[in-house]
Amino acid sequence: MFLSTGGEVLTAAGRERLAAYVESGGGFVGVHAAACTEYDWPYYGELLDTWFDRHPEYQPGKAVVEDRDHPATRHLPAVWDFADEWYDFRRNPRGTVRVLVRADESSYDGGGMGEDHPLVWCRAQGAGRVFHTPWGTPPRRTRTRTSGRICWAGSTGWRGTPDAT
């Protein structure tokens, strides 16, 4: 799990080990600034399926849960009001990931991705699983919401499918 990492954090050997781990069936969870990490490593961009671009100021907004069947989202309300930084990404990952939650950009100021703004998603990578969420402000909410995502990503016996079900 990368929790609020940023910049280049892995050595060449660390990159090789992380890629081998995920490709062989391991799980990876990227939380908050994990999308601001390893910009110079193309595999990492593939792993998350995009990178962080920018965010407006911390403010209240609405998240829309698109997929209530996933263990990480089945406990959430259909629309969730809370405050965060509302990350924009360099490209929209929809189409190559299973989008679980999207931002309602009409509910806050400064969004830059438009009406289709995935926030939380998962996907298969090789034989492994990847889960991404930009939520991490404040840290207390991150701790209480992350354990289920770690359990999902690290499930033993899981066999990846393109929709990461």
Do the bridges between strand 79-84 and strand 52-54 make them parallel or antiparallel, or are there none, so unpaired? unpaired
- Digit-coded pLDDT (tens) for 96-141: 999 999 999 999 999 999 999 999 999 999 999 999 988 876 554 4
**97 Cβ contact partners less than 8 Å away, ≥ 6 residues apart:** 49, 118, 121, 122, 123, 132, 164
Nearest CA among 14, 4, 13, 17 for reference residue 133:
4
- Residue 7 confidence (pLDDT): 62
- Digit-coded pLDDT (tens) for 20-55: 999 999 998 888 788 888 889 999 899 999 998 999
- Residue 129 confidence (pLDDT): 92
- Digit-coded pLDDT (tens) for 55-107: 999 999 999 999 999 888 888 899 989 898 999 999 999 999 999 999 999 99
> Is pLDDT of 148 > 80?
no
- Residue 140 confidence (pLDDT): 44
Which pTM was predicted?
A: 0.82
Q: How many CA atoms lie within 13 A of 157 on its CB side?
A: 0
